[in-house]
Structure formats: C-alpha cells, structure tokens
Amino acid sequence: METEQGSVDLVEGDVVRSFARAALLAALMGATAFIAIPISGVPGTLQMLVVFLAGLYLGPGWGAFAIILYLLAGGLGAPVFSGFSAGPGVLLGPHGGFLLTFPVGALLVGSIVHRGRELRDPAAVALPIVILGLVAATIVVYLAGFTWYAWVTETSLPEAFTIVALPLIPGDLLKMAAAIAIVRSGVIDTV
Amino acid sequence: MLTYEPDDTFAHRLDPRSKLAVQIGFAVTALAHTTPRALVVFTAFTILGLAAAGVPLWRALYGYRFALPILAAAPVISMLTIGTPWLVPADGVDPALASYRVLLILLFSAAYVRSTPARDSRAAIQRTVPGKPGQLLGMGVGLVFRFVPLLLADLRRIRQAMTARLGSERSVLDRVNRIGVLGLSRAFTRADRLSVALQARCFSWNPTLPALSFSKLDWAVCAFGAVLGLTAVL
C-alpha cells in the first residue's frame, strides 16, 4: 500500500473565517432560491439581496468569491438556481447574463462601499455611497442580463429588456431598500 | 427536482472533467448555430446524452420548466408589432430557433446533474484549478452543497415564526428586511462556528483529495468534447 509523507500547510486563521462566511453566504443565496416572496404580484426570490449583502458585509474580494461559489455549486449540480434547477446549462440559459454578472455586482458594491482591502462598518458609511454601490451593481447586472438574453434568443434589446428586466425592477428596488434597512440596523458585523 | 442519483449508466462511469468538456463543447457549438438542420442534430444529441445518463426527456423538461415561459416569450414578443397587422409571424422564426437551442443546452445539462455526485465535482475543481484558489473553490463548493438544506431550514423557521406572529400582515419591505437580517446573522453565526471547527481539524492548503480516475474512455470523451466545441467555427 502506498503512503505519502508531507507536512500540513495550514490555512491562516483570518482566511478561514472569511472563507467560512463566504461559503455560508453562498449557501444562503442557494437557500433563498426556495423562498418565494410575492413582490408586485410576481413571486420573486431574494438572490439580488444576497448579492448586495455579499458586497456590503464581505467586501469586494470575498463578496465576489461567495457569489462565484454559488454559481459553481449550482453549475455542478446543487439545486440552487430559480425553480430548484441546477447544471452548467443554467449559466448559459436565458438568465445567464444576470447570473454571470452577480459576482461583478458584489465586487462593485464592495469596492464602492469599502474602497480598499480594509473592511469598514457599512452602517458607518455615508448613505449616498451605499446607494451608489447598490445602484451601480444593479445597472451592471441588468445591462448584462438583458443583453445576454437578446444575444442568445436573437431578440432586439428593447424586446429583451421588456421580457427579462422590466418585470424584475419593482422587486429589485424593494431589495435595495431592504439592503439599506439591514445596513442601517447595524446588527450584523463585518468579517 | 433534478439532482444526483446513484446508478450505473454510461455517464455515471465517466470522470466529471470529461463530462464537463462535452457540456462546454455542446454549449459552444449550440450557441454558434441556429439553422434547422443543426437543431435537428442537437436534438438527437441531447436525447442521446440524456439517455446515456438515464434521464427521461420529460423529467429534464420538468426540471427546467421555470425557464420555459421566458424562452417562449422571445418569439411571442418578437412577433408583436405596434399597429396593423399587430402580429408578424415571420419575425418570430429566428427567436424561436434561437430559444430552442438554449432549451437544448439546458436539457443536456440534466445529464451532468444526474450522473455526478457533489464529491466528484469538488475533486474535479481541486484537481483542475491550480493552487490555493482551486483548494478554496473546491472546499467552498462542498460546503455549499452541505449547508443549503441547513440554511433553508433556518429560513423556513424564520418565516414560520413570522407567520405565527402575524408577520404576514406586515409590508413586503418589512418581511424582506426581517428575513435578510435574521437569515444573514444566523448564516454568519454558523460560519463563525464552522471556521473554529475547520481550524480545530487542521484545515490545510494541501488536503488529501477524493480519488478520481481518468480512464482511456474519459480521454476519448474529452477529445469528443473538444471536437464538438471546434464545430462552432464550421
């Protein structure tokens, strides 16, 4: 029987803590796919809210990493996408543009709110800065979302916007308001 | 719900990396072609792929049913026009063909989902993505698979507690806010306990990875995936 000898290269304590929070946030994003909240008459999930929270509470790097973990897990078979679906095809499906830009969204929120590697308390950051981060992330995700849909289904950009982006706007405005309320409550600490 | 199921089909015997190569190759070529002739070939390929993983077509369709309305909307909206004649069927042909190939990409991925356990997918990431990022991604994906049911139970408990206290009578914003705060704080509490547990168990950059075997058949399947991808430029 073969044996292998080598020393264990331990992961640093601060990396383990950030990593565990990123992994659990990715799992939370997956769990929210199962929770439908009726928003403006249409059942919506809270995934965009988790993208905001990833950038706000984990910062740009670990926030984007958390969302990448979510996408990878879903792509590799965890039923974490909308409608409990999974598989690599979902990442290239009709909502692929939204999904693939979620990490960019978290990166943008984190970069604008924290402005560097050192994490700030989001509750102490000026409200217009937080709003700017959330709006910038939403615009980028929406742009990529409907442009992707227009490309894969060979529809025009206005048609694609009407089909995949317009119905989501009321819900995402509400999630932005919820993210701001969560930040202002100050009950959650950063890493 | 489509998820991994133990079986002994052709797809179950393959390495996850070779299956991913075919998935990527198929998606690349499907995104490049929308001619009816190409779609006939893709349809046959999808049916074969699903059969190789033991997934009935209806089950794959049911698994991705939530994407169907959004794909069907593309030709319908394209056909509509403001003013007479209101409906131009010819405008819906290209979007219909394009949406159909997206549907095939979705259906084909059911073969990977049913035939690949989370443990193998995690090992494939750790063996394919080099260095520390690969280790973190692999471990992280393993944790996501494990913790989704736990956090889902947390979220359901939060909602039940809200309903018991007439929380369902409150505004949507208030409900979303409450679920967000409680869901995130519970997830982070679990994460902090997990990080202590990981360190206590010597969480390292060089763990012993789960075994994977890349057979001759896998090389052939991998090469097939590459050829499939190259047909995108034909």
A38-67 per-position pLDDT tens digit: 665 555 678 899 999 999 999 999 999 999
- Rounded Cα gap, residues B5 and A1, in angstroms: 32
Confidence grade of residue B101 (pLDDT, cut at 50, 70, 90): very high
Look at A97-106, B66-75, B199-208 and tell me which has the smallest mean pLDDT: B199-208
State how far the Cα of B171 lies from the Cα of A60, in Å rounded to an integer: 31
- For A175, the closest of B141, B176, B183 (CB atoms) is B176
Between chains, do A85 and B64 touch, taking CB under 8 Å as contact?
Answer: yes
What residue segments make up the domains of chain B, in order of their start?
11-116+213-233, 132-200
Q: CB pairs below 8 Å between A and B: how many?
A: 266
Write the CB contacts of B7 (distance below 8 Å, at least 6 apart in sequence): B54, B114, B115
Average pLDDT (B212-227) is 90
Nearest CB neighbour to A16, from listed B150, B151, B198: B198
Q: From the CA of B185, how many Å to the nearest CA of chain A?
A: 6
Residue of B nearest to A150 (CA): B74
Contact: A46, B180; criterion CB under 8 Å: yes
Residues A14-34, mean pLDDT to the nearest whole number: 93
Q: Does A164 touch chain B (CB under 8 A)?
A: yes
* Confidence grade of residue A17 (pLDDT, cut at 50, 70, 90): very high
Query: What's the token pair of residue B189?
Result: 């509490």
Establish if A65 touches chain B: CB-CB under 8 angstroms: yes
State both tokens at A134.
């959330």
Helix locations, B117-171, DSSP H: 118-128, 131-164
Least-confidence region, from A22-36, B20-34, B86-100, B202-216? B202-216
pLDDT over 90 at A97, yes or no = yes
Tokens for B219, please give them: 């090389």
Across B169-179, average pLDDT = 86
B167-195 mean pLDDT: 90
Give backbone dihedrals phi and psi of B35, rounded to 5 degrees, phi first: -70, 150
Token pair 């790097």 in the structure block, residue: A61
Could you give the CA distance from residue B46 to residue A185 in angstroms, rounded to a whole number? Answer: 50
Q: Which domains does chain A have, with CATH numbers?
A: 13-185 (1.10.1760.20)
The verdict on B39 touching A (C-beta cutoff 8 Å) is no
Long-range Cβ contacts of A100-104 (<8 Å, 24+ apart): A100/A71, A100/A144, A100/A148, A101/A140, A101/A141, A101/A144, A101/A145, A102/A47, A102/A51, A102/A67, A102/A70, A102/A71, A102/A141, A103/A64, A103/A65, A103/A67, A103/A68, A103/A71, A104/A64, A104/A137, A104/A140, A104/A141, A104/A144
List, in order, residues 6 or more apart from A132 with CB less than 8 Å away: A112
**HSE value, Cβ hemisphere, 13 Å, CA-based, for B30:** 33
| Residue A114 to residue A30: CA distance in whole angstroms | 25
Tell me, yes or no, if B171 comes closer than 8 A to chain A by beta carbon: no
- Give the gap in angstroms from C-alpha A102 to the nearest C-alpha of chain B: 17
- Give B178's contacts in chain A (Cβ within 8 Å): none
Range in A3-17, A69-83, A160-174, B9-23 the model is least confident about:
A3-17
What's the ipTM? 0.92
Contacts with B106 from chain A: Cβ below 8 Å: 85, 87, 89-90, 93
pLDDT tens across B106-139, in order? 999 999 999 999 999 999 999 899 889 999 999 9
**Residue of B5, B59, B113 to mutate, testing the A interface (most A Cβ within 10 Å of its Cβ):** B113
To test the contact with chain B by mutation, choose from A5, A90, A99, A154 the residue with the greatest count of B C-beta atoms within 10 A, namely: A154
Q: What does the pLDDT read at residue A1? A: 59
The pLDDT confidence band at residue A136, using thresholds 50, 70 and 90, is very high
